[in-house]
Chain A
Amino acid sequence: MVEDRRLGDAIAYIILSIGVVIVAFPVWLTFVASTWDAATIINGKLPLYPGPYLLENYNRVLFIGTSGTTREPVLGMMLNSFIMAMAIALGKIFISVLSAYAIVYYRFPFRMAAFWIIFITLMLPVEVRIFPTFKIVSDLRMLDTYQGLALPLIASATGTLLFRQFFMTIPDELLEASRIDAAGPFRFFKDTVIPLSITTIAALFVIQFIYGWNQYLWPLLVTTKDSMQTIVIAIKKMIVTSDALTEWQLAMATAMLAMLPPVFVVIAMQRLFVKGLVETEK
């Protein structure tokens, strides 16, 4: 039995290791490519170990910019992407917590109609309503602004649905106890609903931050100035060049940099998940 189990464990480890290699190898290759010079990469003889140009490449990408394609340094683009992703994530959480609270805890006319209208917007992502949305943003003179980047992507039903489902699991007795404890609707929201929702909020934040960070089509449409470019657009611009050699080492360095913030967000929020889980488990 013991030997069987060891064998089983070994097989599991082997399969998992293969999986890790498959997932991690492209990332490693990207990293390696970002540490060599253009000549080495273009020769097609890229080694599998890091080269000597790490600091030079990253310094150039972050603070100077590519020679032709993106013009601006990547640091500014990362800032743009970060502001957009944060605005989308926080804006979505703010709107969906409030709307879900209204739908679950208030009795007002057309409550269910309001819920279904929000629900139906799930079928209308930005890509579907892109022309009218662009028209509105342009009429509001929000092209090339952070508002223009973030606002249209904030409106979405996923968060509202998530919080609605969660709020419906909060026992009614807590609301009743709060009412007896002289807590009005806002106090109940602030003192009971939000603290109980922290883990859900963290989960939604992770998902929406990454969603916002990875946006490509919408930023491409509403930004025309180089200074408002996001990092995802920059990578695309660096790779597709018509009349010059692709500076692969710089594109790969940008790709590595583009990966970092989502990774940090996941790691940071993971700690909150665990904290929340541990507290409820006790």
Chain B
Amino acid sequence: MAQVTLTNVKKIYAGGVEAVKGVSFDIPDGGFCVLVGPSGCGKSTLLRMVAGLETISAGEVSIGNRVVNQIGPAERDIAMVFQNYALYPHMSVYDNMAYGLRNLGTPKDEIDKRVKEAARILAIEALLDRRPKQLSGGQRQRVAMGRAIVRKPQVFLFDEPLSNLDAKLRVQMRVEIKKLQRSLGVTAIYVTHDQVEAMTLSDKLVVMNGGQVEQIGLPAEVYKKPASKFVATFIGSPPMNILPGTIDGPGIVALGDAILEARDVRQDLPAQSPVEVGLRPEDVEIASEGAAGSLPFDVEFIEELGATQLFHGQLAGLPFVMQAATDEISAHPGRIWITVDPDRVHVFDVKTGARLGRG
């Protein structure tokens, strides 16, 4: 259908506030791109600039090789699903879906065909005569999606579409959105602050913070090699442990008294230079007491999650969390010994927070 390209896109508000500070990336045709970040990071503004609901202060947005900076939202060939669905409350479900097509002058039988088709795909055929007020949250969500589908757009834009749903429905709709996008083959941009949604939906993950892109990549890449301390702590649940450490030699970092091997770290860092060491709770393994390379971990309390447990405590005098399968150890506070795969030790610059990896 269409590829979307953003080139150095900026949003500067009248007061001089820079909400988006020069963002560039592109989404291949049929790709599913998720913009994720904390609130106020500029992700929604960026999406609205792609939609044409916000003017673009600088830079260029193109959809399908056509620069759309000066083109209105209706002519951009996009469809958007809003956080609160934005269904027209006074129109029936059918009219909600047909409204945009009618405005574009689509022939009546074509509208009817497309609405019925979308209703069939989304299993809302029985609801076509109802008003939005008579629908449940999940049904409204489907209608909002239906309104997007009937337009057969080149790009779907989703602005936190699942945040008004309860947890169970959210998981279900997440799967459906992904399936739908795959089967229709439409390029999608999806904004969320939920990192689980971001990881599961995307085939291109854009992590944003403070109006800037922190990292772009496949979700697995972003998870395994976070480009900065921000990404490392934002992606992953529970968040990565960040501990202050020092370089103790090539590929060796020291956490207080303990020594840890790290493979993915720049070799040219001078000894004793301070760094921040990131360890994911789920990458930590339990070792036997005094095993080679093991660290002492004083467990203070344990959270039961069913399949896994979270151990909260102190590592080398600093707060630390680890995750372990329920049957792995007996769950009671006290000192245990842990090891970490040297491939899964992340080292970040103290000042910039950038990853100090092997390039």
Residues A182 and B80 in contact, CB atoms below 8 Å apart: no
Residues A183 and B103 in contact, CB atoms below 8 Å apart: yes
Q: Is the interface of A mostly helix, strand, loop or mixed?
A: helix
When chains A and B are docked, how far (Å) is the Cα of A182 from the Cα of B78?
A: 11
When chains A and B are docked, how far (Å) is the Cα of A174 from the Cα of B90?
A: 11
Residues A180 and B134 in contact, CB atoms below 8 Å apart: no
Question: Which positions 251-271 of chain B face chain A at CB distance < 8 Å?
Answer: none
Residues B100 and A181 in contact, CB atoms below 8 Å apart: yes
Residues A177 and B80 in contact, CB atoms below 8 Å apart: yes
Binds A, one of B81-89, B115-123, B178-186, B221-229: B81-89
Question: Which positions 69-116 of chain B face chain A at CB distance < 8 Å?
Answer: 72-75, 78-80, 82-90, 99-100, 103-104
Residue numbers in A under 8 Å from B89 (CB-CB): 196, 280
In the complex, B51 has a CB within 8 A of chain A: yes
In the complex, A52 has a CB within 8 A of chain B: no
Question: Which positions 180-197 of chain A face chain B at CB distance < 8 Å?
Answer: 180-183, 187, 191-192, 195-196
Number of A-B contacts (CB under 8 A): 66
Task: Identify B86's interface contact among A171, A279, A282, CB under 8 A.
Answer: A171
* Min CB gap B353→A, angstroms: 35
Residues A171 and B80 in contact, CB atoms below 8 Å apart: no
Interface size on A, residues (CB 8 A): 19
- Among residues of A, the one whose C-beta sits closest to the C-beta of B133 is A282
Residues A171 and B84 in contact, CB atoms below 8 Å apart: yes
Residues A179 and B73 in contact, CB atoms below 8 Å apart: yes
Residues B90 and A177 in contact, CB atoms below 8 Å apart: no
Residues A282 and B103 in contact, CB atoms below 8 Å apart: no
In the complex, A173 has a CB within 8 A of chain B: yes
Residues B103 and A182 in contact, CB atoms below 8 Å apart: yes
Residue numbers in B under 8 Å from A179 (CB-CB): 52-53, 72-74
Residues A192 and B88 in contact, CB atoms below 8 Å apart: yes
Residues A180 and B133 in contact, CB atoms below 8 Å apart: no
When chains A and B are docked, how far (Å) is the Cα of A189 from the Cα of B75?
A: 20
In the complex, B170 has a CB within 8 A of chain A: no
Residue numbers in A under 8 Å from B90 (CB-CB): 192, 195-196, 279
- What 0/1 pattern do residues 130 to 160 of A give for CB contact below 8 A with B? 0000000000000000000000000000000
Task: Identify B82's interface contact among A176, A191, A192, CB under 8 A.
Answer: A176
Residue numbers in B under 8 Å from A183 (CB-CB): 74, 99-100, 103
* Among B79, B84, B89, B104: residue with most chain A CB under 10 A: B89
Residues A180 and B103 in contact, CB atoms below 8 Å apart: no
Question: Interface of A with B (CB < 8 Å)?
Answer: 171, 173-174, 176-177, 179-183, 187, 191-192, 195-196, 279-282
A-B contact pairs, 5 of them (CB 8 A): A180-B51, A182-B74, A191-B99, A279-B133, A280-B133
